[in-house]
Amino acid sequence: MGEMKKVRLGRTGLMVTKTSFGALPIQRVSFDEAARLLRTAYEAGVNFFDTANSYTDSEEKIGYALSDVREKIIIATKSAYTTPGNADMVKRNLELSLRRMKTDYIDILQFHNPAFCPTEEDPAYQYLVEMKRQGVVRHIGITNHRLFVAHEAIDSGLYETLQFPFCYLTTEKELELVARCKAADMGYIAMKGLSGGLLNNAEACYCFMKQFDNVVPIWGIQREEELDQWLELTERTPRLTPELRAVIEADRKDLAGSFCRSCGYCLPCAAGIDIPQAARMSALLRRAPYRPYLSDEWYTKMHKIEECIHCGACKSRCPYGLDTPELLRIMLEDYDAFYAAHHND
């Protein structure tokens, strides 16, 4: 493979590969399998790896696989920050991340989806500024799923990167964020490029992202075939053909309106419902191999919806304003109809 295309990540000045590695899914595989995926990506030219303190052992796996080439890669990680003024939370998380990844610095430390935008006076932000002065944190960023927090972060001028969901199902509101980040010279890291697995044409997703010279997608990778797919597309650099545009338009029409992005911020559910999967079951049945979802296990999981206690917690936590209990009710009706029609296929 030739030299991978790199993108300047806003005013960080970091040159990161346009094809980058989202390391959330490697928490689901063994250390050796994760190391093989990470090392293969690195050896193919990928230099940007995104993880988070809360992704169980993802950081440890990065340290296990890539600590010997630390100076040749760029790592972004995230710290939860739930209570304004509680800098100790961020301090503990940063120290843990450094230890897990066997490094003495983090290239980009991001506040992880806070419900508010930390200000310049916030002790946690001031702590990161001090860590930046010491060289422990090189750049400060923020991730979010809430448009108003994203706009506040851009307006503040305090953050060098924004990580936000972005894919070809995006609306004008997300496109505006991309444009505002470009104008502010703020790096835009795109998560959910496959919309939580609802989009299954990788070439269409790749070509859509290629149109935006300031957007860096982090593709979540768990299996070798997924990595191979992104590496092959990166090598071939396909163009957005009329056929791919037709795929995009069909998906936009099919998935228009209220759909679950599988961000998981509705959890935990007091009734034990797997909301991020159950709330998009109709699309999964239509757009993915459906047989696995007709198992006894999934039948039981979907019928947990009947145990909903209507506490409203999931609805109040949804950053997209979905009426989650009503969406779950509809998904169960659709599931039962599909199950009745297909479970004996």
Per-residue pLDDT of the chain (345 residues; tens, 9 = 90+): 568 999 999 999 999 999 999 999 999 999 999 999 999 999 999 999 999 999 999 999 999 999 999 999 999 999 999 999 889 999 999 999 999 999 999 999 999 999 999 999 999 999 999 999 999 999 999 999 999 999 999 999 999 999 999 999 988 999 999 999 999 999 999 999 998 888 989 999 999 999 999 999 999 999 999 999 999 999 999 999 999 999 999 999 888 666 788 888 898 999 999 999 999 899 888 877 889 999 999 999 999 999 999 999 999 988 888 999 999 999 999 999 999 999 887
Closest alpha carbon to 65 in 54, 49, 52: 49
Cα end-to-end span (Å), the chain = 44
Q: How far apart are CA 168 and CA 199, in angstroms?
A: 9
C-alpha R_g of the chain: 20
The answer to whether the Cα torsion of 1, 247, 207, 198 is positive or negative is negative
Q: How far apart are CA 145 and CA 148, in angstroms?
A: 9
Q: Which amino acid is at 200?
A: N
149-174: pLDDT as tens digits? 999 999 999 999 999 999 999 889 99
Closest alpha carbon to 37 in 228, 219, 232, 236: 228
b/e burial code for range 71-109 (CB count within 10 A of at least 16 → b): eebbbbbbbbbeebeebebbbebbeebbebbebebbbbb
Structure tokens at 322: 């979905």
Q: How far apart are CA 200 and CA 260, in angstroms?
A: 16
pTM above 0.85, yes or no: yes
